[in-house]
């Protein structure tokens, strides 16, 4: 299994004055990051990978701290990545038990492409901030996917 995480809320990107790569989580996003610890509590997590953006790293840092794992930057999870390259990488057996934090655009494209390939999805095809897609059947082919809604946090 691979746990594909959408980063938590990071405020309005148009109001952010710095580079988008450095945009941090908002207070709401930090609560979503803490909620990720509870959301993934029943699952075996062996590694934690992140898009090389601050908001993604911050989303998985509480989980890494609780699990005693390092957060490793993975460029294939970044904004504007080649979808075919990402999908080929998702079949890597070395990703078994990995949490991979990325962006809504990446998750949306992955979900839609996998659905078109016949992967069974539950009734929801969403990717809210702080949510997780559990992709099962790694090792060359994702067979099914299950959505874990984010832990509710105040606005």
For the chain, the domains span 2-148
Mean pLDDT of all residues in 83-112: 91
SS3 120: strand
Q: Which CATH superfamily includes the segment(s) 2-148?
A: Phosphoglycerate mutase-like (3.40.50.1240)
Question: Could you tell me the pLDDT band of residue 140, with boundaries at 50, 70 and 90?
Answer: low
Using only the alpha carbons of the chain, give its radius of gyration: 14
State how far the alpha carbon of 116 is from the alpha carbons of 1, 72, 73, 75, 85, in Å.
20, 30, 29, 25, 17
10 Å Cβ neighbour count for 89? 16
Reported confidence tier of residue 17, pLDDT bands at 50, 70, 90: confident
Paired residues of 133 in beta bridges: 4, 147
Query: 120-121 and 98-102: which strand pairing?
Result: unpaired
Residues in the chain: 155
pLDDT reading at 12 higher than 60: yes
Q: Does residue 87 have a pLDDT over 90?
A: no
């Amino acid at each position: 299994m691979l746990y594909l995480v959408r980063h938590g809320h990071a405020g309005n990107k148009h109001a952010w004055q710095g580079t988008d790569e450095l945009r941090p989580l908002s207070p709401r996003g930090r609560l979503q990051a803490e909620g990720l610890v509870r959301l993934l509590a029943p699952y075996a997590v062996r590694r934690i990978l992140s898009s090389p953006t601050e908001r993604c790293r911050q989303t998985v840092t509480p989980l890494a701290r609780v699990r005693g794992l390092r957060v490793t930057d993975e460029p294939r999870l970044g904004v504007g990545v080649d979808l075919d390259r990402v999908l080929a990488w998702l079949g890597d057996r070395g990703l078994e038990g990995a949490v991979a934090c990325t962006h809504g655009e990446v998750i949306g494209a992955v979900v839609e492409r996998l659905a078109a390939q016949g992967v069974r999805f539950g009734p929801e095809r969403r990717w809210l901030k702080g949510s997780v897609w559990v992709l099962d059947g790694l090792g060359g082919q994702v067979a099914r996917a299950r959505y874990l809604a984010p832990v509710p946090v105040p606005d």
